[in-house]
Amino acid sequence: MAKTQKVFIYKRYERFWHWTQAFLILFLALTGFEIHGSFSFFGYESAVSMHNKSAWALIILTAFTIFWHFTTGEWKQYIPTTKNLRAQAEYYLVGIFRNAPHPVRKTILSKLNPLQRLVYFFLKVVMFPLMVITGLLYMFYRYQWQGEVQSIGIENIETIAVLHTIGAYLLIAFVIVHIYLITTGHTLTSNLKAMITGWEELEFDDDSENKEDNEIQNPETNKN
């Protein structure tokens, strides 16, 4: 029989990174679409300045987070797996509407289900590099140097701009789906509260192998 246990699952830096990254992505989308001409709010020049500064902030945050992931071993959470992948997809498509049990139980050592691992791996190794590279190329294809306008040799910036815009739409789509999936926990707000406080109610069986993974963690011993 399944039981629940309150577990300290999201460390302090993990939560800081999550919310700061979320804010920066949404702010980049807001200023980016204004630069694109979709609407006017800050004004074009202000939007460009704030967009560039936010982009650098996200790059710096990402660099620190990569370091954190590798020094804490949290990078292992994002290794893709095909185990239970089909069951997880079927759960989101059908099972969740029939109140079916979740095919994969979350633990401290495995916070992401197979579908989440695949999506986050794609974001980290494809989408983020695409946005950073195209953004930097767009930012520096013409730049001031010693009183003159220099160029990095790109004749047509249109392809880069299109790729950057497509990436932006894909990130917005991910955010929308992510917000919806937040509501699919034990309650509508349980996943949200977990990312705010670090604590979450997790299920385990008395004879399950992951029972030890779900032992209550003291937040005072989890400073990272």
Q: What is the pLDDT of residues 94-144, one digit of tens each?
A: 998 888 888 988 889 899 999 999 999 999 999 999 999 999 988 887 655
Mean pLDDT for the stretch of residues 9-32: 96
Name the more confident of 68 and 152. Answer: 68
Task: Output 220 or 178, whichever has higher pLDDT.
Answer: 178
163 pLDDT exceeds 70? yes
Across the chain, what does the average pLDDT equal? 86
Q: What is the dihedral of CA 177, 182, 187, 189, to 10 degrees?
A: -130
Contact 94, 192 (CB under 8 A): no
Q: Could you tell me the domains of the chain?
A: 16-197 (1.20.950.20)
Can you give the pTM of this predicted structure? Answer: 0.84
pLDDT of residue 140: 82
Closest CA to 113 of 73, 81, 76: 81
CB atoms within 10 A of CB 209: 9
Higher pLDDT, 184 or 51: 51
Give the integer Cα–Cα distance in Å for 222 and 101: 30
**Is the sign of the CA dihedral 70, 116, 201, 211 positive or negative?**
negative
Interaxial angle between packed helices 158-182 and 128-140, expressed in degrees from 0 to 180 and rounded to the nearest 10: 140
Q: Which two tokens stand for residue 210?
A: 């992951």
Q: Is the predicted pLDDT of residue 204 greater than 80, yes or no?
A: no
What does the alpha-carbon distance between residue 29 and residue 193 come to, in Å, rounded to a whole number?
25
